[in-house]
């Protein structure tokens, strides 16, 4: 009789009872991520992307989310790691430092024109209360966005939650933005690269823009914060009093504006980001070149 042979299969030993597989080595972790990424149980952005799966797991680990919950709750929106708004609020309210909270429901927020949220942080005798108003939403150009048109009360509530949660218990979410907030961030500003990456040899030709576009640029120049060295009042007067100024291109006016700024304007790129918002790629490159050149002249 032929001798019977047995097939020995290598089994993964679970570190604890249940279905959870807890990898003991990086190879096991990577293998597990590849298996998960190949299934329909992960959002489309993670499918076939084991590296993204690992990043979501690590982010979830830091804020207290189990691996699969992290894949369902965390996403990259406009270039930022973000968490679904319900998940954000769950992390805030379930945190040990959250003693209690109180907020305006969406219908009340819409009726009163602002969302309001209060959180009592354990160990802090003061209750943290924050609001987000419809007026603020209008100033930030949020009203025309899809979610604000469909669910304005919910958006006011979520904004108030985020403002209060980040002030009261910032360690709960480790900088993760609620998805509704991340969607309101301009991808152009969020994905902006440092101007030093632009080479002066790449300077493009300048193209005259329509009058309507130039007027929008004038408004943007006038609204730059004075903390970045923007002489807003002086620029507004010169623009209104000199008709030749209106005949310049957006790039020429931006370059002239940059040329007149003190060294403090070049310490960071916050003013430049506002300046280039809404410009075309060739215009952005030209303005960045002017920024780099002037920064080098003033700061070396």
Q: pLDDT for 132-187, tens place per residue?
A: 999 999 998 898 888 899 999 999 999 999 999 999 999 998 888 888 888 887 65
pTM of the model: 0.53
Average pLDDT, the chain: 75
State the pLDDT at residue 64: 84
Q: Quick check: 61 pLDDT over 80?
A: yes
Find how far residue 276's CA is from the centre of its chain. 18
Q: Quick check: 201 pLDDT over 50?
A: no
Local structure of 119: helix, strand or coil: strand
Residue that has been written with the tokens 């003190």 in this structure: 262
Strand 80-83 vs strand 177-178: parallel, antiparallel, or unpaired?
parallel
Q: What is the mean pLDDT of residues 240-245?
A: 42
State the pLDDT at residue 85: 86
Q: Quick check: 1 pLDDT over 60?
A: no
Q: Calculate ∠ Cα 166-187-236, nearest 5°.
A: 90
Range name among 33-37, 40-44, 91-95, 234-238 with the lowest pLDDT average: 234-238
Local structure of 281: helix, strand or coil: helix
Rank 15-19, 165-169, 291-295 by mean pLDDT and report only the highest: 165-169
Torsion of CA 40, 45, 50, 51, to 10 degrees: -160
Q: What pLDDT, in 10s, does the model give residues 204-217?
A: 444 444 444 445 44
Q: Quick check: 12 pLDDT over 80?
A: no
More reliable by pLDDT, 165 or 236: 165
Q: What is the mean pLDDT of residues 83-98?
A: 90
Which stretches of 38-84 are DSSP H helices?
A: 50-63, 67-73
């Amino acid at each position: 009789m032929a001798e019977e042979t047995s097939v020995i299969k290598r089994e993964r030993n679970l570190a604890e009872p249940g279905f959870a597989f807890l990898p003991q080595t990086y190879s096991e972790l990577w293998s597990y991520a590849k298996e998960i990424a190949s299934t329909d149980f992960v959002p489309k952005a993670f499918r076939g992307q084991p590296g993204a799966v690992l990043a979501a797991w690590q982010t979830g680990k830091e804020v207290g989310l189990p691996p699969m919950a992290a894949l369902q709750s965390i996403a990259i929106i406009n270039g930022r790691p973000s968490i679904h708004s319900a998940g954000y609020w769950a992390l805030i309210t379930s945190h040990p430092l959250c003693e209690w909270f109180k907020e305006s429901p969406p219908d009340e927020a819409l009726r009163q024109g602002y969302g309001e949220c209060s959180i009592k942080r354990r160990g802090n005798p003061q209750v943290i209360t924050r609001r987000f108003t419809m007026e603020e939403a209008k100033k930030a150009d949020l009203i025309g966005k899809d979610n604000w048109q469909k669910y304005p009360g919910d958006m006011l509530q979520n904004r108030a939650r985020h403002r209060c949660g980040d002030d009261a218990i910032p360690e709960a979410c480790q900088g993760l933005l609620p998805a509704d907030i991340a969607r309101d961030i301009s991808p152009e500003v969020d994905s902006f690269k440092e101007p030093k990456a632009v080479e002066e040899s790449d300077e493009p030709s300048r193209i005259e823009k329509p009058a309507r576009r130039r007027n929008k640029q004038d408004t943007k120049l006038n609204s730059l914060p004075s903390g970045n060295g923007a002489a807003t009042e002086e620029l507004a007067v010169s623009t209104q009093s000199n008709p030749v100024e209106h005949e310049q291109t957006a790039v020429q006016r931006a370059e002239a504006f940059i040329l007149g700024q003190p060294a403090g304007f070049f310490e960071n790129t916050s003013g430049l980001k506002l300046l280039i918002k809404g410009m075309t790629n060739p215009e952005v490159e030209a303005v960045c070149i002017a920024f780099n050149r002037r920064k080098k002249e003033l700061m070396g």
